[in-house]
Amino acid sequence: MKPVNICRLLGCMILLPMVLKAQTKTINVLIGTYTNTGKSKGIYVYSFDPSSGSLTYKNEVASSDPSFLALSADKKYLYAVNELNTGEGAVSAFKYHPTDGKLVLLNTQLTHGDSPCHVIVDQKDNHVVVSNYSGGSLTVFGVQPDGSLTEKVQLIKHEGSGPDKSRQEKPHVHSATLSPDGRFLLVQDLGTDRINVYGYDALNKNAPLSTEAKVAKASPGSGPRHITFAKDGRYVYLVQEMKAAVTVYAYSDGQLTAIQEISMLPPSYKGDVGAADIHISPDGKFLYASNRGEANDMAIYAINKKDGKLSYVGNQSVEGKGPRNFAISPDGKHLLVANQYTDDVIVFARDEQTGRLKNTGNRIEIGAPVCVLFDE
């Protein structure tokens, strides 16, 4: 009988708990809400267990209608729009402590535009850019060494309208996304059916955005809302709120060329529409887009990596109403949906081979959740 190497055996016994601990490392999820319903107080931080898909309350901070959130590149600071529809919106900066989930308010600045609904931070943590929906404008702020925001350094107002005069009577800037190389800012305007592409210089403290923009048109009356880039940066995917469709653009050096438009709904669907969010799985194989209106589901597509085009996989109920925003876990195994009108966040397991979703049964109750953000 071969003798047992006791040291090797004990080494395995010691390493096993370490491996299990690494596999069950939790990550934080930050959730923005609408506080005007009286059901929530502001921003909430939960711990997410990737092995079970469960969420555990960690901390919260009071804030007025923090409907969209963005973390700094170094993960030390959080920025939240205050989507106030009072003639003047705001954006708030917080110091973020991931260990206990504590958020400490640093300062708040006016956006000089009504109903700010989206915020991003550039890759160098030099500027914060806010999209003002009702104001039809972009506001750029500088970032101080302590993470707080300067007063605005640049304000760009859009002009124009769209064919649907009930919703496109003027510009409605809904989001802004930096290109992967950080040289261009793509701005989605629901009111004018356009994506405006501005040159971006993160090192220019006073005017990082070019004053003139390249323009890519979306379908008339479609209402551009959010975009996401393909993993290789060669394609851009636009979710159209008013048409409930996804447009695929080939992308190169700030130029967009439309190559496909695909519906987010089955041909037999006749109800109200209201598409919202869009994301690609970490492996780059599948794209997801959320439907509000009467559909309340997630449209799922497979991505052809050769030409960027989409093929329809299916629709999955979000088990609630008003999927305003969703996020895919960093490991790609789960998808979390914020259902604004049923006051809950639902956790789905994601099949990495087929792209399809399955309700895990894990959910949390939270008033009017509208943004879900992993801190990794």
Q: How far apart are CA 240 and CA 299, in angstroms?
A: 13
**DSSP assignment of 108-121:** EEE-SSSSEEEEEE
Instruction: Tell whether the model's pLDDT for residue 12 goes beyond 90.
Output: no
Residues above pLDDT 90, as percent of the chain: 90
Residue 87: what pLDDT? 74
Query: For 253-341, where are the E strands, in sequence order?
Result: 255-263, 275-280, 286-291, 297-303, 310-317, 323-328, 334-339
**In the chain, how long is the greatest CA-to-CA distance?**
86
Rounded to whole angstroms, how far apart are CA atoms 186 and 251? 11
Give the pLDDT confidence of 218-254 residue by residue, as tens digits.
999 999 999 999 999 999 999 999 999 999 999 999 9
Question: Per-residue confidence at 86, pLDDT binned at 50, 70, 90?
Answer: confident
Q: What is the pLDDT at residue 21?
A: 46
More confident site: 248 or 13: 248
- From 339, 341, 326, 317, select the one nearest 374 (Cα to Cα): 326
The mean pLDDT value for 192-221 works out to 96
Domain ranges of the chain: 26-374
Report CA 63 to chain centroid distance, whole Å.
19
Query: What confidence score (pLDDT) does residue 38 get?
Result: 93
Q: Whose CA is closest to 371, among 126, 28, 43? A: 43
| Rounded to 5°, angle at Cα 169 from 193 and 249 | 5
Contact 332, 286 (CB under 8 A): no
Residues forming beta bridges with residue 189, ordered by sequence position: 173, 194
How confident is the prediction for the chain on average, in pLDDT? 94
* Cα first-last separation, the chain: 50
Query: What tens digit of pLDDT does each residue of 265-309 get?
Result: 998 899 999 999 999 999 999 999 999 999 999 999 999 999 999
CA pair distance 236, 184, nearest whole angstrom: 13
pLDDT tens string 99-156:
999 999 999 999 999 999 999 999 999 999 999 999 999 999 999 999 999 999 999 9
- pLDDT tens for residues 321-337? 999 999 999 999 999 99
Q: How confident is the model at residue 20 (pLDDT cuts 50, 70, 90)?
A: very low
- The answer on pLDDT for 310 being more than 50 is yes
Count other C-beta atoms under 10 Å from residue 107's C-beta.
Answer: 14
* pLDDT score, position 5: 57
Q: Compute the average pLDDT of residues 47-64.
A: 98
Three-class SS of residue 164?
coil
CATH class of this structure's domain 26-374? mainly beta
